[in-house]
Amino acid sequence: MSFTLWHHPYSGYGQKAATAAYELGLPFELRVVDHTDEALMAEFRAVSPFGKMPALVDAEGRAFYESSVVIEWMDRHAGGGRLIPADPEAALEARLVDRVIDHYVGGPMNRIVQERFRPAGSRDPFGAEQDAQVLARAWDWLEERLSDGRVWAAGETFTLADCAGAPLTTYARRLVPFGDRPRLRAWHARLMARPAFMRALEDAAPYGDLMPAPPAQD
């Protein structure tokens, strides 16, 4: 079983998929998305029609995109039941936390970053502040979710939700600090020590620091 994974190693959603592949021990061919290469981008858009990362192409040439779907494909082809729990209730919790992180951490984070790259005169500080408030609410939600003593985002095992949480919370806390949320901080520390995520960070290291915000100080 082989597949090609299109993403950029610095991309949060790309790291989400790469973390899953490393966690499952799946070898893959990396195609790095480079927006300056027109020929490459034409090939990429033929795989991912909305131009979003990551995208996966299997051995039969079928393309899958959206990070959570890509990870479901990986989990199934790795034998199933690891990143998407076999128990229906546990799987539902993993998908719920994954969706919250994608939409209410990754979504506002990306909008704030895009705002900072906009030229003067076209910025939307009101919208950026609204997104910062959404991030703060997401931190509160995660802190409360972790209050039952779970080790990982959705329970006692590392799942899809942690693959999302590792890169997206790492980047987003540079925009809106965790503050006084000890459970969130402890979970994030566990994510930073997870070998699969450490490998994804190593992949990103050669690209420097592309985040328009200082490293987290909280």
Residue-wise pLDDT for 149-195, tens only, equals 999 999 999 999 999 999 999 999 999 999 999 999 999 999 999 99
Query: What is the residue-averaged pLDDT of the chain?
Result: 95
On the question of pLDDT at 118 being above 90, the answer is no
On the question of pLDDT at 206 being above 80, the answer is yes
As given in the structure block, the two tokens for residue 211 are 């985040």
Task: Give the pTM.
Answer: 0.95
Residues 163 and 84 sit within 8 Å (Cβ to Cβ):
no
- The reported pLDDT for the residue numbered 117 is 83
- The reported pLDDT for the residue numbered 2 is 82
Same fold, 3-77 and 88-207: no
How far are the Cα atoms of 44, 133, 155, 157 from residue 137, in angstroms, in the given order?
A: 35, 6, 21, 25
- Pick among 1.20.1050.10, 2.60.40.60, 3.40.640.10, 2.30.40.10: CATH of 88-207: 1.20.1050.10
- E strands, the chain, are 3-7, 29-32, 55-58, 63-65
* pLDDT tens profile 51-82: 999 999 999 999 999 999 999 999 999 999 99
Question: Where is average pLDDT lowest: 10-19, 118-127, 130-139, 142-151?
Answer: 118-127
Question: What residue segments make up the domains of the chain, in order of their start?
Answer: 3-77, 88-207
As given in the structure block, the two tokens for residue 148 are 């039952």
- The reported pLDDT for the residue numbered 1 is 62
Task: Evaluate whether the domain defined by 3-77 bears CATH number 3.40.50.740.
Answer: no
- The reported pLDDT for the residue numbered 124 is 82
